[in-house]
Amino acid sequence: MFKKPISKAFASILVYITVFTLCTNGLPTIAIFATAPPINHPLPPSVRNDDGPSTIYLPATGLHWRSGGDNIMGAEVTSIDEAGHLTKLESANVRWLRNNAWAVVWHEVEPNEGQRDWGSQRMRDTERQMAIAAQRGMKLIQIVRGTPQWARKTAGSGPTCGPIREDKFYAFADFMRELVQRYSGPPFNVRYWEIGNEVDAPSVAGDNVFGCWTENNDLYTSGRYYGEMLKIIYPAIKAAAPDSQVVLAGMLLNCDPRRPNPNCPSASFFDGIMDSGAGAAFDVANFHAYDYWKGKLTYANENWYVASQNVGPSLIAKTDYIREVMSKHGFSKPIINTEYALLCYGCATSPSDFENAKAIYVAQANAAALAKGLMSNVWYSVLGWTGYQTHILHYDGNITAAYNALRTSTDKLSQSAFVREDFSNPGVRAYVFDRQGTPVWVIWSLGGERLPVNLPQSPDAVSDLYGQWRPAGQQIFVDAFPVYVEFPK
């Protein structure tokens, strides 16, 4: 979700926020402060490319992407510059950025059919941030959203929220062709194009930062309709730049369709996409996975039947579901999680227990994402969602425990490949990775209690989720706080 602390976005969130479970509030936050040395990078000017020639469309290979040899950690930002604390993200070795605050908004570029204005101030600001991301070597996931009134399927007072009318699919395809031609090359080099945001959110009147493709609470049929749109625009995008990656809009997936919940609509939007025959009309599947603080160091997502004491982060269950649906249709494609966070529901301040739980969650979720083979795992967000305390940095740049946990996670797991899960010690989760020849284990107690763990040999080093060294031996003790265990090559 693009959950900026502004009235329009907040009002939109209320449309479907009722599915969330209320969480416990507590003590005021305890801030953790640190500083990072400044890095002086010249900011590129706003520049625009001329349209280039079209190229031949190449179909998707359908090969399954496996993590390893790269860094999957990412974050959503309010701006790709120092106002968004870009240097601190670089210091934490975050390499993926998701850009919804400065999305390409179709209705702003083309308010009247066939009349496109790429020179608006907003578009120039978006261009500037695309160029900064490319200059700094970031992998940018650029969102495209906002249906113009003339292309809306359902009439309404606002210009953006609602699915595209079927006879305007080709108009959107032509828009995407020109967009990708302009920004796939230097100095922007955008490769990942996310088509909408949370398209399984319901349609409402007025401006909205969500996809709004769900009509009459019929997620399955709405998913099929979104899939029909993908089949039209995909060839146009590939013709403009064959190496561009078409990313599905991050899906809410509020409930597990395999276990229907009468209190929550089934998350069958993705089934509809695949049943439409659009399996060959996207490159990367995409979802969002939030969990909810339950007090002390625990969390859960009841709609997916997961909790910190059993399965762990909900991204595990959601990844399995998406992979199952694709497999049923004969596809195996990369999967990305473009929003994950631990939510403190309705918290005006951030309790100290929650800050600890959030740091734990960052470490657990990134290890789980790497183990499940996700292409990237994107935290929402750097400066946080107002009322839910998801920030990893404060507006003044001071860091949180979760930021330190993220930095350690990237340090210990970048350039790593998942090997297996170890089940030799009951009551613990133990993921085994290979970091360029160095075996690295990530271990924590599922129930949170202090448990012994017998290792296969004496490790070279053991560190906590903040990178602090711990006593190392062939037997160690773990609790809810993950530890990183490094063995000799």
pLDDT per residue as tens digits for the range 285-310: 999 999 999 999 999 999 999 999 99
For residues 445 and 65, the model is more confident at 445
HEC string for 13-56:
HCCCHHHCCCCCCCCCCCCCCCCCCCCCCCCCCCCCCCCCCCCC
Domain 428-486 sits in CATH at: 2.60.40
β-bridge pairing 475-478 and 451-454 = antiparallel
Residues 6+ apart with CB under 8 A from 147: 106, 107, 159, 160, 161, 162, 163, 164
Q: Which of 103, 104, 55, 77 is nearest to 244 (CA)?
A: 55
Residues 6+ apart with CB under 8 A from 39: 87, 90
At residue 376, φ and ψ (nearest 5 deg) are -155, 155
Q: What percent of the chain has pLDDT over 90?
A: 78
Highest mean pLDDT among 45-49, 100-104, 234-238, 469-473: 234-238
For range 136-154, the mean pLDDT: 93
Look at the domain 7-414 and name its fold: TIM Barrel (3.20.20)
For residues 214 and 42, the model is more confident at 214
For 139-201, the DSSP string reads EEEEEEE---GGGBSS--SSSSSSPBPGGGHHHHHHHHHHHHHHHSSTTT---EEEESS-TTS
For residues 208 and 81, the model is more confident at 81
β-bridge pairing 245-248 and 461-464 = unpaired
For range 422-428, the mean pLDDT: 97
Task: Determine the length of the chain.
Answer: 489
* Alpha carbons 147 and 144: distance in angstroms, whole number: 10
3-class SS at 396? coil
pLDDT for 109 equals 97
Question: Do 336 and 375 form a contact (C-beta atoms < 8 A)?
Answer: yes
Domain ranges of the chain: 7-414, 428-486
Q: Do domains 7-414 and 428-486 have the same CATH topology?
A: no
pLDDT per residue as tens digits for the range 349-368: 999 999 999 999 999 999 99
* Assigned token pair, 15: 């449309």
* Alpha carbons 304 and 253: distance in angstroms, whole number: 9
3-class SS at 347? coil
pLDDT for 60 equals 36
pLDDT for 223 equals 97
pLDDT reading at 8 higher than 90: no
